[in-house]
Amino acid sequence: MKYRFCGNSGLQLPLVSLGMWHNFGDTDRYATMKETVFCAFDKGVTHFDLANNYGPPPGSAETNFGRIMAEGLRTHRDEIIVSSKAGHLMWDGPYGDGGSRKYLIASINQSLKRTGLEYFDIFYSHRYCPETPLEETVQALVDIVKQGKALYVGLSKYPVDKATEACRIMAEQHVRCLIYQDRYNMMSRKPEEAHLDFVKEKGLGLIAFSPLAQGLLTNRYLDGIPSDSRVAKSGVFLHREDITHELLGRISKLNALALERGQSLAQMSLSWLLSKDIVTSVIAGASSSAQLKDSLKALDNLYFTTDELKRIDEILL
């Protein structure tokens, strides 16, 4: 495994982190989860990314991770980075969503209890909440650090102006924003518009989620929509109508380029992100240890020629 410093901090993260958004809830097989997490740690994947509402059902990913920690990883706690978040809907009523102090403090207390941890290494505000004064959200993050419930704090999916202001408020209280998280992949380039400059200017780490565009940047949909795919099962974030013939044509061209590079499309997609020095880590999901090992092969070739980068942009932009 290769590691990069998280912005201007002294903390290093593995280039590939294991995300638990899917595949770690109560609807999944526990033995497979445990095997995948143990495999990840054995391969040097020391960062595990959680959130209060990951599952399904919400909270179950944290509970399952806590069980895995108790069954073998707890003795390695100081070799592991565990992240969690709060900001999206977690429980019904006015206090289970958003950016209020009430919600953030209650949520991290619940998350620590579910995981059985004394602290999180990184705790994120999962989204900017326009209904909550930014000062209130940021003050809760500052207090979470000062109370020892998290070593570092980060921001996820914040607009640049709000993220800039949040960093300023933190700095005034001698708590530094460590990391910024956003959706970033070959097909989702929005961070390139302003966020990359912001991250560089503030000296933050950058971690990319959805690096495979919900599975589009794999060979999974080249021959149609599999019955066991996310589109077929739920279609919450990716819909059948999104997978057009034009899109499949582009994916097919990307797949051909990946094969020329001696990679799968998924591996090339991860490599493309990690070829950018500003990207600290990518959050990769995995439904099995075999899938995780396949993703880690992306680290074998992070170099792209000028022609390859041009071809990718011509296909997608």
> What's the mean per-residue pLDDT of the chain?
95
Query: Which pLDDT score is estimated for 227?
Result: 56
Q: What is the pLDDT of residues 63-121, one digit of tens each?
A: 999 999 999 999 999 999 999 999 999 999 999 999 999 999 999 999 999 999 999 99
The tokens of 237 are what? 């974030």
Listed residue (256, 262, 260, 254) closest to 301, CA to CA: 262
Query: Which pLDDT score is estimated for 53?
Result: 97
- Residue 9's φ and ψ, nearest 5 degrees, are -85, 175
Domain assignment of residue 102, yes or no: yes
Q: What is the mean pLDDT of residues 14-24?
A: 96
pLDDT-derived band at 242 (thresholds 50, 70, 90) equals confident
Domain assignment of residue 219, yes or no: no
pLDDT score of 224 more than 90: no
Distance between CA 103 and CA 86 in Å, rounded?
8
Q: How many domains does the chain have?
A: 1
- Residue 110's φ and ψ, nearest 5 degrees, are -65, -45
Q: What is the pLDDT of residues 185-211, one digit of tens each?
A: 999 999 999 999 999 999 999 999 999
Which CATH number do you get for residue 166? 3.20.20.100
Domain assignment of residue 279, yes or no: yes
Distance between CA 292 and CA 18 in Å, rounded?
8
Taking a C-beta distance cutoff of 8 angstroms, is the pair 125, 133 a contact?
no
pLDDT score of 240 more than 80: no
CB burial of 130-159 (b: ≥16 within 10 Å; e: otherwise) equals: eebebeebbbbbbebbeeebbebbbbbbbe
Domain assignment of residue 295, yes or no: no
Q: What is the mean pLDDT of residues 222-243?
A: 64
What is the maximum span of the chain, computed from C-alpha positions, in angstroms? 54
Domain assignment of residue 242, yes or no: no
Domain assignment of residue 227, yes or no: no
pLDDT-derived band at 233 (thresholds 50, 70, 90) equals low
Q: What is the mean pLDDT of residues 307-316?
A: 97
Q: What is the mean pLDDT of residues 287-310?
A: 97
Query: Which pLDDT score is estimated for 86?
Result: 98
The whole domain housing 35 covers 3-214+268-288
Domain assignment of residue 54, yes or no: yes
